[in-house]
Chain A
Amino acid sequence: MDDTPIVEIRKLSKSYRRGNQIISVLNEISLDISRGEFMALMGPSGSGKTTLLNLIAGIDRPDSGTITVGGIDITALSETELARWRASSVGFIFQFYNLIPVLTAFENVELPLLLTGLSRKDRRAHVDMALRVVNLSDRMDHYPGQLSGGQQQRVAIARAVVTDPMILVADEPTGDLDRVSAEEILELMERLVHELGKTIIMVTHDPRAAKTAHVLKYLDKGILDAHPQVDF
């Protein structure tokens, strides 16, 4: 693991308006995430975990503060620049996999590459490689509906890594899986960190998943707890 922070968050605040009420979700959070780090973000429901993850991934905008990823202040980017940055720099793993049901595993993994300008042949090579990493080469022609939950999540991981992004963000990646599948996914994520040097930021409620991570952060009422007491 490289100690150089790949993600630098400074005084980040975010609030939502519900009717006439303004609800503060994140309150001046500052955080560094090192390159090659596997960080778990825990906290009770409504603590702002997913909001923080969305902000780091550039799919939401903060009210104030800055987020620098790989030297780029993403809070200063326009919507178009942000979309382009997401395509090249972030891999997403969701709780419900979010695969496109009418596309095969191969086509789902290929999706992010359609924005890269790679030739068909190069795209195929990248997808083959990503599916090999998640050990699903033999299921590339299957549709999501023909795969188990664990296999679908592996396809989603292949889609997340296929563009070789700087960071991977995972929102409850094991939340919809049985214990065996969850362990396989966590093992796979650990391999991505160790073998491919990926940086992973994972939101989870699952203490076992959090235990797999190198670093644990606890968020409560929009504030990071520096010394969390998590019962594993």
Chain B
Amino acid sequence: MRILKLIFKNAFRHKLRTFLTVLGVTIAILAFGLLRTVISAWYTGVEASSASRLVTRNSVSLIFPLPVSYKEKIRQIEGVKTVSFGNWFGGIYIDEKNFFANYAVEPRTYLQLYPEFVIPEGQRGAFFRDRKSAVAGYKLAAKYGWKIGDMITLKGTIFPGDWDFVLRSIYKGRDETVDETAFFFHWEYLNETLKQKAPGRADQVGFYMIGVTDPNLAADVAAEIDKTFKNSIAETLTETEKSFQLGFISMSEAIVVAVQLVSFVIIIIIMAVVANTMAMTARERIGEYAVFKTLGFGSFYISALIFGESMFVTTIGAAIGIVLTFPAAEIFSKQLSTYFPVFNVATETIYMDILASFLVASAAAIFPAWRAVNIRIADGLRRIG
């Protein structure tokens, strides 16, 4: 107990220095935690993807459509359980800055494939019945103050014109990894309108979503789908939902790597700051360590004093940093919901925070402890007075 008391008292000998070091660690851990959360948020789509879902798109590019007639052929392939399809709509709500993902989908099969979108039964039925209806995620509805029954108009970019929808349903995510900022409506509404206004673009879909009977069959089913449409007018590329999402992320991989690098650089900088504090501390107290050694205290005790103090100061900063990460992430989440629909601090991020603070504290104490342990007592005592 005495050693803990001594560590505690030593840590507050230079209150300003300790305060500034704690502040530095707090900011570093907060920044580290937020950057790690940004990286997690980047991969949220991948994490949320299911192993039993496949995505089929035009093999040339995602922007080229596929005929809606492929649906029945895909359904007949062995191992296929559900086939849904849709188009990226790319509509704008009032202003371009109000970006959110919006799709035209085949509602029944789409919701079968996505049981993680939890919709009250009454609202589900209302959505199915009304072809001009739409579903919005809980966060999206909250952001724009939408309520059930509200009329929402999206300005089409890919499909020009003003598109009116009646909000019939608001979904919630089954867990916190589910994106609650999406907006989707009946593909039939889109297709019927296109038949009237741009018949050449009708009866085409941007992607197929396919549910397989067994995740172990996913690779075989994907190969079979692509084989079926080989040498057709629109060849397909089928991959798991996870690969599909990773494909998007790979386009921005350089940014993810840069964010990762910055997060580690922050830890290295704070390591230098804490090491500097501990080096100053040990240099000032070298005479005291000599006294401890004179009294018979061994290397373990001297090291424990220095490591303990480094650990104590870093832990206070890290704890405050971790606690602050949650409200900070909440603010980020609200401000950047357009870019990061899911911005939750993962448990792994907290573990990484703790590990980082432990490494910082240990690395910062190594040299001062080595110096204090190895200094000759007579030399140490000479520094006093």
The one of A54, A86, A94, A103 that contacts B6, using a Cβ cutoff of 8 Å: A103
Is B385 close to A, CB under 8 A?
yes
Task: Tell me if B297 counts as interface (CB < 8 A to partner A).
Answer: yes
- Complex contacts, A88 vs chain B, CB 8 Å: 296
Given contacts A83-B298, A92-B295, A107-B2, whether A100 and B377 have CB atoms under 8 Å apart is no
Instruction: Establish whether residues B377 and A59, one from each chain, have CB atoms under 8 Å apart when the complex forms.
Output: yes
A98–B6 contact, CB under 8 A?
A: no
Q: Which residues of chain A are within 8 angstroms of B384 by Cβ–Cβ distance?
A: 94, 96, 98
CB of A111 within 8 Å of the partner chain: yes
**Residues of chain B with a CB closer than 8 A to A57's CB:** 294
B383 to chain A, nearest CB (A): 10
From DSSP, what is the main secondary structure of chain A's interface residues? helix
B12 to chain A, nearest CB (A): 8
Chain A residues whose CB sits within 8 angstroms of the CB of B291 once the complex forms: 94, 98, 100
| Tier of interface size on chain A | 20 to 34
A37 adjacent to chain B (CB < 8 Å): no
Residues of chain A within 8 A (CB-CB) of B6 are 100, 102-103
Bound Cα distance A87, B376 (Å): 17
- In the bound assembly, the distance between CA atoms of A60 and B379 in angstroms comes to 10
Given A86-B294, A86-B296, A115-B296, answer yes or no on A102-B2 (Cβ-Cβ < 8 Å). Answer: no
In the bound complex, CA of A84 to CA of B381 (Å): 19
Enumerate chain A residues within 8 angstroms of B292, measured Cβ to Cβ.
111
Known: A98-B291, A102-B13, A103-B9. A54 touches B378 (CB 8 A): yes
CB-based contact A102/B295 at 8 Å: no
Q: What DSSP secondary structure best describes chain B's contact surface?
A: helix
Q: Count of B residues near A, CB < 8 Å?
A: 22
- Whether the pair A112, B296 counts as a contact (CB closer than 8 A) is yes
Binary CB contact string for chain A from 97 to 129 against chain B (1 if under 8 A, 0 otherwise): 010111100010011101100000000000000
B34 to chain A, nearest CB (A): 36
Q: Is the CB of B297 within 8 A of A96?
A: no
Assess the A60–B296 pair: CB atoms within 8 A: no
Q: A95-B385, A102-B10, A107-B2 are in contact. Are A59 and B378 (CB under 8 A)?
A: yes
- Nearest CB of A to B4, in Å: 12
Contact of B295 among A50, A103, A112 (CB under 8 A): A112
| Listed residue (A80, A83, A159) with the most chain B CB atoms within 10 angstroms of its CB | A83
Cβ distance B292 to chain A, nearest Cβ, rounded Å? 8
The answer, yes or no, to whether B235 is at the interface (CB within 8 Å) is no
Question: How far, in Å, is B379 (CB) from chain A's closest CB?
Answer: 10
Q: Which of A102, A114, A176 contacts B9 (CB 8 A)?
A: A102
Chain A residues whose CB sits within 8 angstroms of the CB of B24 once the complex forms: none
CA distance A59 to B381 in the complex (A): 10
B288 at the interface (CB under 8 A from A): yes
- B242 in the interface (beta carbon within 8 A): no
In the bound complex, residues from chain B placing their C-beta under 8 Å from that of A54 are: 377-378
| Inter-subunit contact B296/A96 (CB<8 Å) | no
- What's the Cα separation between A50 and B292 when bound, in Å? 19
CA distance A110 to B10 in the complex (A): 17
- Residues in B with CB closer than 8 Å to A100 are 6, 288, 291
Cβ-based interface call for B321 (8 A): no
Least Cβ–Cβ distance between A58 and chain B, in angstroms: 9
Whether A83 pairs with B297 at a CB distance below 8 angstroms is yes
Question: Which of B292, B294, B298 lies at the interface centre, i.e. has the most chain A CB atoms within 10 A of its CB?
Answer: B294
Closest Cβ of chain A to B231, distance in Å, is 82
- A54-B2 Cα distance, complex, nearest whole Å: 28
User: Are A80 and B378 in contact, CB atoms less than 8 angstroms apart?
Assistant: no
Tell whether, in the assembled complex, residue A114 and residue B2 are in contact, meaning their CB atoms are under 8 Å apart. Answer: yes
User: Shortest Cβ distance from B27 into chain A, in angstroms?
Assistant: 28
B296-A87 in contact (CB<8A): yes
Is the CB of B293 closer than 8 A to any CB of chain A?
yes
Q: Which residue of B lies closest to A115 (CB)?
A: B296
At the interface, yes or no: B287 with Cβ under 8 Å from chain A? yes
Q: Please give me the residue from chain A that is nearest to B13 by CB atom.
A: A102
Query: A residues within 8 A CB of B385?
Result: 95-96, 176
Interface residues of B (CB under 8 A from A): 2, 5-6, 9-10, 13, 287-288, 291-298, 376-378, 381, 384-385
In the complex, 21 of the A-B residue pairs with CB atoms within 8 angstroms, ordered by the A residue number, are A50-B378, A54-B377, A59-B378, A83-B297, A83-B298, A86-B294, A86-B295, A92-B295, A94-B384, A98-B291, A98-B381, A100-B6, A102-B6, A102-B9, A103-B6, A107-B5, A111-B292, A112-B296, A115-B295, A115-B296, A176-B385
Which 8 A-B pairs have CB atoms at the shortest separation, nearest pair first?
Answer: A87-B296, A102-B9, A96-B385, A59-B377, A98-B291, A86-B296, A83-B296, A112-B295
